[in-house]
A and B are shown apart, each in its own frame.
Chain A
């Protein structure tokens, strides 16, 4: 699998994660899908911890994200570096801010993000079991496990675990496993649903 396909498929994970905010709890996909229609926006802070065998302690990144249905997203890292991914009105842009200087990531793979948004409406309805990339299973109490269907993707990401909050519509954390020793945990906090988000959040850096 080459880097463009990989990054395209990884970025497809973002709507998976985000759209899970739209689900309430149930023990079946039918129940999950029922609550999928009521969420129009999400804002949240996150702490990302990268675990690697080479690291004595995880590498911690912090950030925040905003999502406005149907197709606007801001995924922003605030530390250890400032990086912002913006998806709005069909345009995908990524920026890094360093020493107060803004630099635009011009890598070609951003163009593949256009495809991402076409999948969001599917996931927003909670149709994870219809997701062509991942096999989805509900396991135990408030946990969904996604396993890649494609062998190439499975060599890169072995599985994704979604841990759902007791509060309906909220995700506590996402774990993305590359291997047993290499995984990323994203914990969400201060999540707010259905509060109006200004359009400038998705336009301005």
Chain B
């Protein structure tokens, strides 16, 4: 998808500007569809063209306690005219830009049982989900426009999608398409490295996905 065709590119960059001003860019990782767009634009994946199907912007926070000095991202985001909202049920944070542009934050769930909202040092309440660690463990910093942003390795991005596929409900088929679209660009040695770092359960989910969809990654 060419630059000029990407809806909400301006909103995406406006939020990156907001994070940059808050000095938070180093403490979040772009995940989801916008990571694919950055793979394309940064040249990390040569000749790759992202398929921007969802317009929400998701960030992974690898460490709740970074930066050391707490930041009020909500205050800075309001200055950039993003609306802040907390979900009524679980208090997780979302920002809204023009039209339906939506920004969410996620962290790796620790332990099991009842999830409770925790505030990160960047001033937001992220949503807790499982299996996110690989996206931060295997991540890299790349240039994008005037920014330097963190994104997961494409191999980690795809491995993650394979592992969570069974819980994705109506998004599972769309994720499958993304996996197939990215597959030709992946480094199989990196996939093996990531696979070896997974838990037994995650390895099982990975192998099941390979078998169910006849996709051989390694």
Asked if A and B bind, the verdict is no
- Residues on A lying within 8 angstroms of B by beta carbon are none
- Residues on B lying within 8 angstroms of A by beta carbon are none
